Amino acid sequence: MGVEEEFVLADAGTREAALVADAVVEAAGRLAGDGHVVGEMALAQLETVSGVCSDGCQLHTEVMRLRRCAARAAREAGCLLVACGTVPLGDPGPPPILDKPRDHAIAARFGTLVDQQCANACHVHVGVPDLEEAVQVVNHLRPWMPLLLALTANSPFCGGRDTGHASWRAMLWGRWPTAGPPPYLRSVDHYEQVVATLVDSGAAVDPAMLYWSVRPSRHVPTVEVRVADVLPDAEDAVAYALLVRAMVAAALTDLREGRPALPVEAAVLRVAAWRAAHDGMSGQALT
């Protein structure tokens, strides 16, 4: 398993968004190792990428190491590393457009949708044997995504305002046409057909733009759960990752013992996800 965490950079004095990610990512990369701290959409945002871990102790050591490296680099730039799903204070501004064909294509197609996307999540990858089982595990996990969102909601404030939502990040990210619950996938062929249709329709520039809350990874042999806000503490992140790993293991057991996934309608899951984002752990949720 592995964990990717996204963070806000805030000025140490004003606590407002600090648009210095380029410098912090470069410094943090020297401390953490190549590829373990990377830039993201916004200049007030960075992402840490763990190595592959086999147990909770190893993952905790890795998450702590990366958070410390990123926090140290942020301090050297006069900033704080903030584990929050949105920018509580200040304006992260529109993201920079890198001089790469893919980034220009995204900007041209989606326009101002790319603005205000300093949305910070925690992505958990769990290894699975092959794509066929990954697709079926996604079916088993998709009904649980609203619950995981409620458990991890960590972005009630944005731009100095109380949004009235426990996870405003989920609302921001939900504007993308490929975000939200995945469809019920009948097979690998069906999955590839859905991906091709979304790309051909223009809803995504490539298969990597499928922003489902849980999906088969396109670049590593894992199921990737993307529904959570970044969590406040390393211990929270590790506990959440272990919960996700346990859910994947249970799904694999159900699959191999012939127990089918619940075919919950995507529209129902979308409403349940909104309820979870709005209420967090304080509401009744949708059951």
How buried is residue 141: exposed, middle or buried, by Cβ count under 10 Å (0-12/13-18/19+)? Answer: buried
In a domain, 82, yes or no: yes
285 located within any domain: no
Residue 39 belongs to a domain: yes
- Considering its fold, how many domains does the chain have in total? 1
Domain of 112 in residue numbering reads as 2-279
pLDDT of residue 286: 66
Q: What is the pLDDT of residue 122?
A: 98
pTM for this model (two decimals) = 0.95
Task: Give tens-digit pLDDT for 154-169.
Answer: 999 999 999 999 999 9
- Residue 38 resides in a domain: yes
Tell whether 287 is covered by a domain: no
Query: What is the arithmetic mean of pLDDT over 22-28?
Result: 96
* Residue 25 counted as domain residue: yes
Confidence bin at 119 (pLDDT 50/70/90):
very high
Residues 6+ apart with CB under 8 A from 257: none
Give the CATH number of the domain where residue 205 resides: 3.30.590.20
Is 223 contained in some domain?
yes
How large a percentage of the chain has pLDDT more than 70?
A: 99
Q: What is the pLDDT of residue 113?
A: 87
Q: Which class for 159: exposed (0-12), middle (13-18), buried (19 or more C-beta within 10 A)?
A: middle
What integer pLDDT is reported at residue 95 of this predicted model?
Answer: 82
* Closest by Cα among 238, 247, 12, 7 to 140: 247
Domain membership flag for residue 284: no
Reported as a single tens digit per residue, the pLDDT across 245-270 is 999 999 999 999 999 999 999 999 99
